[in-house]
Amino acid sequence: MRLFQNCGLMPRYVKRLDELAPPEIAFDERRRVFLDDRFGALHLLKPVLDRDADAFLACGNDQAMQRQWAREHGMSGRASLEEILLAQIEHHRTEVFYNLDPVAYPSSFVRKLPRSAQKTLCWRAAPSGNADLSAYGAVLGNFPSILDSWRSKGCRTELFFPAIDPQMEGYGHGDRSIDVLFVGGYSRHHSARAKILEQVAGLSTNWKVVYCLDASRLTVLAESALGRLLPLKKHRRPEAVSKIARPPIFGRDLYDLLGKSKIVLNGAIDMAGNDRGNMRCFEAMGCGALLMSDEGRYPEGMIAEETIVTYKTNDACLERLRGLLAEWNAAQRIASDGRSRISGLYTKERQWASFEMIVANL
């Protein structure tokens, strides 16, 4: 199988990648650095991570990497990112195209693929407005309710899961100096999450609480010296949150931080109904932290009071956090069982076998 996998990079991560691999370096070298940093590795298929000769990875929205490939292959400097991605697929003689960034490359893109790309799949675990993905052979995701919504739009859907990155085994075997960690987005659009984060931040008087937050540009401006002179109060984070907030963190730095944390706090946003199991769940458990998340329907292996801890209300969350930290030895056993269970269930081998089966049935 000649597999082509495309992923999209967050703008903040591109800045990190620019520091690790300057934009002017060769395509293969920047891609190698990206793969070594493990960003999004839970979604990257085994042949890609193994650098299999028949597998090709592109980061379709990374201007530096894509334009370097174009230069190395004699393409015009005026070529669009879409044209470069199509040229890569043709050059690779792709048979199976798997896209992690389908909103940027929807059905209109699929219809332009070369004939060799007979089978097309994409991953989408979030509502996406009016995006048309119906030309894909299948839309993959791990939230049944969101898959239902894609099915209602005429898409074939398949249940598919992230897989634990084997590199995670090297993290989380030393002291866990951080008591509570949260990594993720924070804005006025995350109202339920924002409220609980504000309350949990109050625990920082007695425990080490760390938030790595991806704040909006408006929030960053609102909290600056200049911004405090402007009518931007609604965009500022509560003082309890802002005083412990750190910049967002990615890749191996994220693994390292998860491995130094006792409890990783997670909270779903209103997009998947009662379904749970976002990336942070897999990342936290894969690095051996105790996952504490809101009640809901979790994937196999994520079992309340056995491998994870759940909460129903903000007050219950605070009470449980205090109890877990006070009796950490007992809580640590849940974390250990969770790591063992998830690492055994969601392997790269099992993920790839599942992918192969889906492709064979398209």
pLDDT per residue as tens digits for the range 49-66: 999 999 999 999 999 999
pLDDT-derived band at 173, boundaries 50, 70, 90: very high
Give the percent of the chain with pLDDT over 70.
97
Q: Does residue 206 contact residue 281 with C-beta atoms inside 8 Å? A: no
CA distance 204 to 201: 6
pLDDT-derived band at 193, boundaries 50, 70, 90: confident
* Amino acid residing at 264: V
What is the per-residue pLDDT for 114?
Answer: 97
CA distance 285 to 158: 24
Instruction: Tell me which of 13 and 221 has the higher pLDDT.
Output: 13
Sign (positive or negative) of CA dihedral 12, 13, 19, 24: negative
For residue 92, the number of C-alpha atoms closer than 13 Å in the C-beta half-sphere is 26
Nearest of 70, 89, 90 to residue 80 by alpha carbon: 70
Give the percent of the chain with pLDDT over 90.
83
DSSP three-state, residue 310: strand
Let me know whether 262 and 301 are in one domain: yes
Let me know whether 190 and 74 are in one domain: no
What is the per-residue pLDDT for 237?
Answer: 81
Neighbours of 77 (CB within 10 A): 7
Segment 100-105 shows an average pLDDT of 97
In the chain, the number of structural domains is 2
Choice among 44-58, 148-162, 218-232 with the minimum mean pLDDT: 218-232
What is the per-residue pLDDT for 345?
Answer: 98
Let me know whether 205 and 234 are in one domain: yes
pLDDT-derived band at 214, boundaries 50, 70, 90: confident
What is the per-residue pLDDT for 219?
Answer: 75
Let me know whether 105 and 229 are in one domain: no
What is the per-residue pLDDT for 246?
Answer: 93
CATH of the domain at 303: 3.40.50.2000
Let me know whether 139 and 154 are in one domain: yes
Let me know whether 252 and 237 are in one domain: yes
Q: Does residue 292 contact residue 267 with C-beta atoms inside 8 Å? A: no
Let me know whether 216 and 305 are in one domain: yes
What is the per-residue pLDDT for 311?
Answer: 94
State both tokens at 72: 């190395």
Let me know whether 310 and 228 are in one domain: yes
What is the per-residue pLDDT for 228?
Answer: 82
Let me know whether 152 and 170 are in one domain: no
DSSP string for 190-231? -HHHHHHHHHHHGGGGTS-EEEEEEE-HHHHHHTSTTGGGSS
| pLDDT surpasses 60 at 203 | yes
Let me know whether 177 and 146 are in one domain: no
Dihedral pair phi/psi, residue 7, rounded to 5°: -130, 160
Let me know whether 330 and 191 are in one domain: yes
CA distance 336 to 345: 14
Q: Is 219 exposed, middle or buried (0-12, 13-18, 19+ CB in 10 A)?
A: buried
Segment 265-276 shows an average pLDDT of 76
pLDDT-derived band at 334, boundaries 50, 70, 90: very high
CATH of the domain at 30: 3.40.50
Domain of residue 194, residue span: 166-345
pLDDT-derived band at 190, boundaries 50, 70, 90: low
Let me know whether 123 and 177 are in one domain: no
- Helix 27-37 to helix 63-72 angle, to the nearest 10 degrees? 150
pLDDT-derived band at 191, boundaries 50, 70, 90: low
